[in-house]
Amino acid sequence: MKKIQSVRGMPDVLPASSARRQWLENAARRLLQACGYREIRLPLLEHTALFARSVGESTDIVSKEMYTFTDRSGDSVTLRPEGTAGCVRACEEHGLLYNQTQRLWYAGPMFRYERPQKGRYRQFEQIGAECFGFEGPDIDAELIILTAELWRELGVDDAVTLELNTLGSPEARAAYRDALVAWLTPYRDDLDPDSQRRLLQNPLRILDSKVARTREIIADAPSFMDYLDADSAAHFEGLEGLLENAGLPYVVNPRIVRGLDYYTRTVFEWTTDRLGAQGTICAGGRYDGLVAQLGGRPTPAVGFAMGIERVLLLAEALDAVPASVDRAVDVYLLSLDDVHTSAALALARELRAQVPGLRLQLHCGGGKPKARLKRADASGAELALILGEDELAGGKVSVKALRAGGEQRVMTRDGLLKELLQLAAARNERPAMKGETASE
Ligand code: ATP
Ligand code: MG
C-alpha cells in the first residue's frame, strides 16, 4: 500500500528544527514582553468575509491564496492567511479598543495556497505585533526598533536592510492611483500578464513587480511623493527623525507598497539578499482605516509580521544559531545496573530541582554498562553522571566528560552541583551582543 505523505507545502517541523524555532520565538517573546506587549491567541478559522473585507478582494491573498471551504452548517470559513484581520476582529468583539490603547503580539501558523519553494510554504508561521490607539510616529519607531533589536539578538543584523515608505492618506493614495493608471495605460501591452491584471485591480502593486521589462517602464512613472498629503508627510518625517536619533539606518524605497489593501502611511520591510526571491523576513505598517472598515470606531493602528521560517533560514545561512540550541540534553544520568534505578530516579529529580534550566535525561531501558554509556554518548549530552555501588556508598557521583576527551572524575554532590549550575547558566545566557563584552 502506498504510504500517505504530508500535504504539499505543509512541512513537518522535526525536533532538530523545533529547537531552533524555540530559540527564535523565545527571543521574540522576551523582547515583546519586555516592551509591555501582551499575547493574544486567535482561532485558525474565521468567517471568509473577514478577510474579503479587510485584506481586500483584489489582493493576491484573497483572490487566489486562501484555503476557503464550506463547513457542515453551510458557512464559508477560511484558514487564516494572516493575523491582523483576526486580531482586529477579536479586539472589537471584546471591547478592547474602547477608550484604551493596546499593544498585542501573536504567534502561530498561517495558510496560503502558494507555489511552495524555499522560504515559501502553504502553512508557515508568523510572529506579529499590533498596536491600537496610537496616532503618532513614536509607536511606529518603537515597533521598528524592536524588530531591529531582535535581529541583533539573533545575530542576523548585518545581513538585513530596513526599507521604509509611506502610502499617505487614503485620498492621496487614490489620487496617485488614478495618475499611475493613466500613466501606465499606454504601456499596457508591454507589461507582464500579472501587472496587466493589476492595472485594473491593484495598480500600486505593479510598482513592486520583479519583471525586468515592467521595472523599466515604471522607472519613469509618477512619484507618489508628489501626491503625499501634508499630515502624512509630517508623520513620515517624524518617524525618520526618531529612527535617525536611534541610530537605525534605513533606505526609503518608494516601491514598497505591500500586498494588502489596508495599509496607510508608514510601511516597512526588513529584507535580505541571502534568501533569493524570498528576501522579505518581516513586513508591517500602519492601517489606520481598518478598524472602521470592519465596523468599529476609527482607531489608529500599526503592526508587523515576520515569517519564522525565513528568519530561521537566514540565521542558518549566517551560521548564527548557537551550538547550545541544538543540544537537547546537557547531562545523561545512568546507573550501571537496574538495582540502582530508584536511586538514579531520585537523584535526577533532585538535580533538576536544584539546577534551573538543566536538561537532564535519565537512562531508561536497561542494558549492559557499556550499552548504557553508548546511549549517554548518543544523547548529545556534555556530561554523563554514573551511579554505581561505590559512588552510592560514598555519597559521590562519577562524572564523565563526553565531548572533551572522555575524562572521568569522582565528585561530591556539592562539587557536582556547582558544575551543573555553571553548565545550565552557560546554556541560558543571552547571546552577547556586538559591542558588549561577554561576561566571565
Ligand atoms: P511575499 O511578497 O514574499 O509573498 P507577503 O507580502 O505576501 O510576502 P506578508 O503578508 O506581509 O507577506 O507576511 C509577512 C511575512 O510573512 C513576510 O514578510 C514573510 O516573511 C512571511 N511570509 C509570507 N508568506 C509566506 C509564505 N508563503 N511562506 C513563508 N513565509 C511567508
Ligand atoms: Mg505573498
The domain 15-169+229-317 belongs to what CATH superfamily?
Bira Bifunctional Protein; Domain 2 (3.30.930.10)
Q: Read off the amino acid at residue 174.
A: A
CATH number of 328-428: 3.40.50.800
* pLDDT at 66 (0 to 100): 97
Q: How far is the CA of 9 from the centre of ligand 2 (A)?
A: 14
What is the spatial distance between Cα 203 and Cα 197, in angstroms, rounded to a whole number? 9
**Range list of β-strands (E), 203-279:** 251-252, 264-271
From 167, 194, 310, 312, the mutation candidate for ligand 1 (largest count of ligand atoms within 8 A of CB) is 310
- For residue 427, give the C-alpha cell: 546554556
pLDDT tens by residue, 245-283: 999 999 999 888 876 667 899 999 999 999 999 999 999
Cα–Cα nearest to 270, from 301, 299, 243: 243
Q: What rounded mean pLDDT belongs to the chain?
A: 93
- The number of CA neighbours under 13 Å toward the Cβ of 373 is 15
Atom of ligand 1 nearest to the CA of 281: 20
With a CB cutoff of 8 Å and minimum separation 6, the contacts of 188 are 196, 199
What is the spatial distance between Cα 434 and Cα 416, in angstroms, rounded to a whole number? 33
Q: Where are the domains of the chain?
A: 15-169+229-317, 328-428
pLDDT band at 434; cut points 50, 70, 90: very low
Q: How far out from the chain centre does Cα 278 lie? A: 14
pLDDT tens by residue, 320-375: 999 889 999 999 999 999 999 999 999 999 999 999 999 999 999 999 999 999 99
Q: Residues enclosing ligand 1, CB less than 6 A?
A: 82, 112, 114, 119-121, 124, 126, 259, 278, 280-283, 305-307, 309-310
pLDDT band at 156; cut points 50, 70, 90: very high
Q: How far is the CA of 256 from the centre of ligand 1 (A)?
A: 14
From 124, 156, 209, the mutation candidate for ligand 1 (largest count of ligand atoms within 8 A of CB) is 124
- Give the closest residue (by CA) to ligand 1 atom 6: 259
User: How many Cβ atoms from other residues are within 10 Å of residue 227's Cβ?
Assistant: 20
Q: How far is the CA of 242 from the centre of ligand 1 (A)?
A: 27
Q: How far out from the chain centre does Cα 82 lie? A: 13
* pLDDT at 175 (0 to 100): 92
Structure-model confidence comparison of residues 388 and 136, the more confident one: 136
Q: How far is the CA of 278 from the centre of ligand 2 (A)?
A: 10
Q: How far is the CA of 236 from the centre of ligand 2 (A)?
A: 25
Q: How far is the CA of 418 from the centre of ligand 2 (A)?
A: 51
Cα–Cα nearest to 301, from 309, 312, 293, 289: 289
